[in-house]
Amino acid sequence: MKPHISIIIPTIEEKNDVLIITLFSILYQKIDKNAFEVIITGKKPKPFLNSWLNYFSKNNLNISYIVTNKKGRAKARNLGIKKARGNVLIFTDDDLLLDKNFINKHLLHHDKLEKSIVLGKVFQIYTSNFIKHFHFIKNIPESPKNFSKIFSKLKKDRSREDPYFKIARIPFKHKINNIPWIGFGTNNASLSKKALLKAGLFDESFKGWGLDNIELGYRLYKNHFNFIYEKRACNYHIAHKKDLLCQKKDFERNISHFIKLHPEEIINNFKLFLTGKISIEKFNSIKINKRTKENYYSEYKKMLDIINDKG
């Protein structure tokens, strides 16, 4: 049976341990396993990971591992997209745990409009050593002991909503959201493969960390995609140490590249928002005010034309 959902996960060797936990959270989804496939893209897996991939396959998880030596998250995701057999694509990462109803909640909205994008709720789990909680993965392979219980306890005791995505979802609470694309994170998003292929894939010219996902979100917004926030589609990122200096350099390079690709005022305003110079509310209202003025001027000009014609 051909799956109608494809979950796409790029991975790196350093995260093999966490990837296994991610796959357990997918294995226990409350949905028929024939309905979805898991596509992982990364370098050739080591024996440790291979053993676990065989374990998941034997437990009826439709899983494919695509070997690639190409560097870059955009390239990895684009490869996964091209190989996907499903009509609906779900993007997540190799260090995220999915709530048991994660897939079902995404699917609630994909029968309505082809050009729909569903964005879920992202949490961070803060723990100094996640292996001590999921110690069973060190035994190759061993059935998990109390996986659901461990996951539930971590969610309750160690999780907080992700700061950036919490802010990015604020405009959804208002009647007008002019900037839904800023929340298009490839950690928790889904959309139609057919519609995505028409709009264009991830831009592979971005290097390093950040903004290739949001740039795609912006293009999809300009292509009149409908963004939906489904707060019940939750997943949990295992927080880890980051090279902040490296991320800062990547961000500065990629935001400049973003602006070159889209030399528009709204992208400059996005930079102001990201650097803390304007609030999310201000950023969302800028375009509203601009639209209002343009509409007012257009109506005023029409009125003058009518008066002049009558004269």
The token pair at 300 is 């005023």
The token pair at 111 is 């029968």
pTM: 0.90
Q: Does position 11 have pLDDT exceeding 60, yes or no?
A: yes
pLDDT at residue 287, as a whole number: 60
The token pair at 59 is 């437990």
pLDDT at residue 181, as a whole number: 97
Q: Does position 202 have pLDDT exceeding 80, yes or no?
A: yes
pLDDT confidence tier of residue 297, bands split at 50, 70 and 90: very low
pLDDT at residue 305, as a whole number: 55
